[in-house]
Structures are given as C-alpha cells and as structure tokens.
Amino acid sequence: DGGITQSPKYLFRKEGQNVTLSCEQNLNHDAMYWYRQDPGQGLRLIYYSQIVNDFQKGDIAEGYSVSREKKESFPLTVTSAQKNPTAFYLCASSTLPGQGKGNEQFFGPGTRLTVL
C-alpha cells in the first residue's frame, strides 16, 4: 500500500521544548515538503527537499529545522525558537519538478501540534 504517513496525529508540547514530527513515504518520490496550516488559512511552505542530504528554506522556515538522511524520510523539528508553533502540519511528496511529469503533491494525514 503506497502512501505517505505522518506521526503522531496529535502532539502536545510544553513551551521551551523542541519536538520532532515524522514523515515517511514509500512512493519513491525524490521531493518532499513541509507545510504549516493555521485555522481558516492556506498552506505555507516551511522547508522542502529534492534530494537526500539537501533541503531548502520555504517561506516560513524560522524556528524550524529538517533533515533528509534517507529518501523515504523527512522529519521536521519545531524548535523553541518558533514563537507560535500551534498549528496543523502537513508533509507532502512528489516527483521532481521540471521533469514534465506533473507536480502533483501527495499529502500525509497531518500532525496537529498544540503548545501548552
């Protein structure tokens, strides 16, 4: 069963703590993405990666960090420097842009992070 998974579904964090959100895909996609979604708003790009061991900042990277040690995995760490981390976080993957195969992104089910 091919797809993209995120864990956990719900996450609670105390202020001042770092927390890591998991994202795994078995679609053999080269590109992976992290988005943040706030209530009633669209998707804002945090980080993306097109190849192992390389990643790029998106529009709202401050207070977040990522790694891409394996093609299948793209974990996101929400650090204590992120001033307003409570949000719904979505991970996505796709084939590489620029290959004319379509930029369709496949999304995971999301992780809802709440800072207590």
Partner 1 sequence: GENVEQHPSTLSVQEGDSAVIKCTYSDSASNYFPWYKQELGKGPQLIIDIRSNVGEKKDQRIAVTLNKTAKHFSLHITETQPEDSAVYFCAASNEKSSASKIIFGSGTRLSIRP
Judged by the rule CB under 8 A, the positions of this chain that interact with partner 1 are: 40-43, 45, 48, 50, 58, 90, 92, 96-110, 112
Chain center to CA of 104: 16
Query: How wide is the angle at C-alpha 114 spanned by C-alphas 47 and 37, nearest 5°?
Result: 40
Residue among 16 and 53 whose Cβ is closer to partner 1: 53
Shortest Å distance, C-beta 109 to partner 1: 5
> CA nearest 81: which of 60, 59, 67?
60
Shortest Å distance, C-beta 16 to partner 1: 28
